[in-house]
Structure formats: structure tokens, C-alpha cells
């Protein structure tokens, strides 16, 4: 039975949309597959890893039949991707195998029954529901995602906190050494609540969202969150646990502020990073007489130095930081300058903010060098 017929590019789009969450290592063989669910000319493409599920739809089904099957996601995607852009592609299901034909190219893949695919169940009701522009949510996650932990035993740090308040949605991420906070003013939220999104969910939503004013609908329950935009639905389980109190971490009493040119600071940090190893990423920053001086010495006693003119007339301060933590925030920022706030204490965190982003705050802990 023929399932669908489509132009190669038209078929590639939904496959790329859902295949991103398919893990190469999996606990169940069927999780290496995507579900193809046909109802007349409507085709649903579904992928899940049991934590996150992505569904998208297309209108190139053939015939009025209702059918479903699952097939290896990577093999199907790689084959379609390898075809010439203008080619027509046909998918046929016969004798438990999926045949893919395009011109003289053919591929036959084993399938598993679609009824056995472990789709995520959706709650009957949602506690929070609202809509925001896709570019606003993409920006929100983009301003904090680099601060998420990776494979931390404190599993709640391997994700992003979303805080919903009347008139505002916040995103906060921390790995215990630095913290990023961003927020967007949004109408339509009636009550306050907060949830922790898994790292994978945040990165997938970022990947799939457009930089447009088109809406994304967000629904939140006690255990799940759902993002619906365009032809895409992404459902994710939430992370259980207590996220750190970010309001206590963000300094509010700093009185020493100075602006620094973002590109100049990026350049200086890059010069120092040339000599760095994975184990030695700390750089010494000296603030004195309207200068920001940087110095790095590696294990071979090679050294890098640079300095930037700033408006700093306070007493001298010398403090060390992880270069990667500084580079991450500078790469995210698009402003000409960043605002740096410090305290006359080598053990105090630095606060980095942006001139045109009133809600963005980046806190980075110092390190001993």
C-alpha cells in the first residue's frame, strides 16, 4: 500500500523536524524509529524518547486509507537527504517493510507495528495556557540556555526554570557557577507558577522556533509542558525538584558599574584562550586607573596579556574568572557594550547586564587563580 508521494524537500522538512530527538542509544528498539500515521491525505510524523515527543503534519498522503507504521528515523532521513532536491519520493508499505523509491534509487527498510509505538499521553486539562510570539520565546531561551548544567548529579540544574507570572514569563538557568536570567513581558497569564524544563526540550524548542511574530501556544500542567506552533506540537515531561532561589543569587546592592566594549572584550579573551587547556581556564582581571587588564599564564609559563580602556575610578580590584563563562555571555549578546558590576571583594560574584535588556542578568562566580 502506498503511504505518500511528495517532493524530496517537502518530505525532508517533517523528517528533520521530528528526528532531532531520536537518540542513537535507546532502551527500546522502537525508540530508534519514527511513527508515520496516515489518515487519508494527512500524514502525522511522530518521534519520542519517552521524555519529549514531537509531532508534525503534512498533506501528501495517498488514498483514503488509515494506516500506521514505524521505521528507522536515521536511515529514512539520511536516504531522503541524499536524494536530488527536485526528485519525487514514494513510500510504500508491504509485507512488513517500507519501500522508498525516488527515480532509480530504492531503499527497503524493516518496520515495527505502529500500534506499539509509545506515544506520550496528554493531560485532560492544563494549569497555565498563554500565547507569545515565536521570536520572543526563542530569544528568551537563547539568553539563558548556555548556563544550563550538563550531566550534573543535581538533575534539576540540567534544565531551565520557567516562571509564569501575571504579565511576565521568566527563564533562568544555572550550573552552580554562573546564572543567567531573562524575561519577557507577556499578557494572558492569570496566576503564578514555575516549572523546570529538561535541557533537551529547551534546545529542541530553540531549534524549531522561527524568528517571527507567529504565535506559539504554551500549555503547562503539573507534569508536562506543550508548545504548539505552525504544524508542530512538542510535548515534554517536566523535571521534578527544587530549583535554586535565583532572586537571592542575583546581586541588588552593587554600586560599582562600568561599561566595556563587547567586541574588544571578546577579542582579549580569545587571545588568552589560545594558550588555554581544558583544565586551566581561569583568567586574572585587574581593574585599576580606567583600565581592564587581563593576564593568563599556562602550565608551560607561556603568557597572554591585554588591556581595555574603561571608565573605572574605584579602588583597584583583582579577580579571576572562567574564560568560557565570560565568552558565552558575550557571544549571546548583540549589543556594542555590556555593563559590568562588581563589589570590592575578590570572593563576590560579578553581575553582567545589557544596556537594552532590562530583564537580563548574568551572574558569574569568581575563581581562585
Residues 6+ apart with CB under 8 A from 78: none
pLDDT at 335 (0 to 100): 95
Pairing of strands 97-102, 105-113: antiparallel
217 close to 131: Cβ distance less than 8 angstroms: yes
Give dist(CA 82, CA 107) in Å, integer: 12
Per-residue model confidence (pLDDT) at position 134:
97
Fold of 128-246: DNA Polymerase III; Chain A, domain 2 (3.10.150)
Report pLDDT digits (tens) over 87-126.
Answer: 999 999 988 999 999 988 999 999 999 999 999 988 889 9
Structure pTM?
Answer: 0.92
Residue 73 and residue 47 in contact, taking contact as beta carbons nearer than 8 Å: yes
Give residue for cell 503564578. Answer: 192
* Mean pLDDT, each 10-residue run in order, the chain (369 residues): 88 95 86 94 94 94 87 95 91 91 92 93 91 97 97 93 96 97 93 94 96 96 96 96 94 93 94 80 91 87 90 92 95 95 92 95 92
User: How far apart are the C-alpha atoms of 226 and 213, rounded to whole Å?
Assistant: 19
Task: Give the burial class of 51: count Cβ atoms within 10 A of its Cβ; 0-12 exposed, 13-18 middle, 19 or more buried.
Answer: middle
Collect all residues with Cβ–Cβ distance below 8 Å to 319 and sequence separation of at least 6.
284, 285, 342, 346, 350, 366
Count of alpha carbons within 13 Å of 15, Cβ hemisphere only? 20
DSSP 349: P
Q: What are phi and psi of 205, to 5 degrees?
A: -60, -45
Q: What is the separation, in whole angstroms, between the first and last Cα of the chain?
A: 68
Where in the chain are the domains? 2-116, 128-246, 256-364
| CA neighbor of 53 nearest in space, from 37, 35, 66 | 35
- Homologous superfamily of 2-116 in CATH? DNA Polymerase III, subunit A, domain 2 (3.10.150.10)
CATH superfamily of 256-364: DNA Polymerase III, subunit A, domain 2 (3.10.150.10)
Residue 294 in contact with residue 306, Cβ under 8 Å? yes
| pLDDT of res. 298 | 81
Beta bridge partner(s), residue 165: 168
Please give the Cα distance from 158 to 240 (Å, whole number). 11
By residue count, the chain amounts to 369
Topology match between the domains 2-116 and 256-364: yes
Amino acid at each position: 500500500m502506498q503511504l505518500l508521494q511528495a517532493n524530496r524537500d517537502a518530505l525532508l522538512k517533517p523528517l528533520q523536524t521530528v528526528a532531532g530527538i531520536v537518540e542513537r542509544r535507546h532502551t527500546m528498539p522502537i525508540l530508534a524509529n519514527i511513527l508515520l500515521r496516515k489518515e487519508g491525505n494527512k500524514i502525522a510524523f511522530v518521534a519520542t524518547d519517552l521524555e519529549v515527543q514531537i509531532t508534525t503534519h503534512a498533506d501528501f498522503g495517498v488514498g483514503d486509507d488509515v494506516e500506521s507504521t514505524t521505521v528507522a528515523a536515521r536511515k529514512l532521513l539520511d536516504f531522503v537527504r541524499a536524494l536530488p532536491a527536485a526528485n519525487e519520493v514514494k513510500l510504500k508499505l508491504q509485507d512488513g517493510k517500507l519501500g522508498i523509491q525516488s527515480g532509480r534509487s530504492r531503499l527497503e527498510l524493516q518496520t515495527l507495528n505502529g500500534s506499539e509505538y509509545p506515544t506520550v499521553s496528554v493531560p485532560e486539562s492544563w494549569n497555565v495556557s498563554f500565547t507569545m510570539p515565536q521570536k520572543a520565546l526563542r530569544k528568551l531561551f537563547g539568553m539563558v540556555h548556555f548556563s544550563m548544567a550538563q550531566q550534573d548529579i543535581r538533575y534539576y540544574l540540567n534544565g531551565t526554570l520557567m516562571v509564569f507570572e501575571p504579565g511576565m514569563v521568566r527563564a533562568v538557568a544555572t550550573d552552580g557557577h554562573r546564572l543567567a536570567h531573562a524575561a519577557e513581558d507577556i499578557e494572558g497569564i492569570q496566576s503564578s507558577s514555575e516549572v523546570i524544563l529538561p535541557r533537551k526540550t529547551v534546545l529542541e524548542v530553540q531549534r524549531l522556533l522561527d524568528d517571527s511574530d507567529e504565535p506559539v501556544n504554551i500549555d503547562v500542567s503539573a507534569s508536562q509542558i506543550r508548545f504548539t506552533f505552525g504544524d508542530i506540537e512538542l510535548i515534554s515531561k517536566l523535571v521534578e525538584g527544587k530549583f535554586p532561589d535565583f532572586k537571592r543569587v542575583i546581586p541588588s546592592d552593587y554600586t560599582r558599574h562600568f561599561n566595556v566594549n563587547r567586541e574588544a572584550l571578546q577579542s582579549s579573551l580569545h587571545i588568552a584562550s589560545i594558550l588555554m587547556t581544558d583544565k586551566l581556564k581561569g583568567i586574572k582581571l585587574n581593574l585599576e586607573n580606567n583600565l581592564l587588564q587581563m593576564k593568563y599564564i599556562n602550565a608551560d609559563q607561556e603568557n597572554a596579556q591585554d588591556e581595555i580602556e574603561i571608565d573605572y575610578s574605584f579602588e583597584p580590584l583583582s579577580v579571576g574568572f572562567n574564560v568560557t563563562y565570560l565568552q558565552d555571555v558575550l557571544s549571546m549578546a548583540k549589543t556594542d557594550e555590556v555593563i559590568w558590576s562588581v563589589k570590592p571583594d575578590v570572593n563576590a560574584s560579578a553581575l553582567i547586564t545589557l544596556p537594552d535588556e532590562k530583564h537580563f542578568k548574568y551572574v558569574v562566580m569568581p575563581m581562585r587563580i
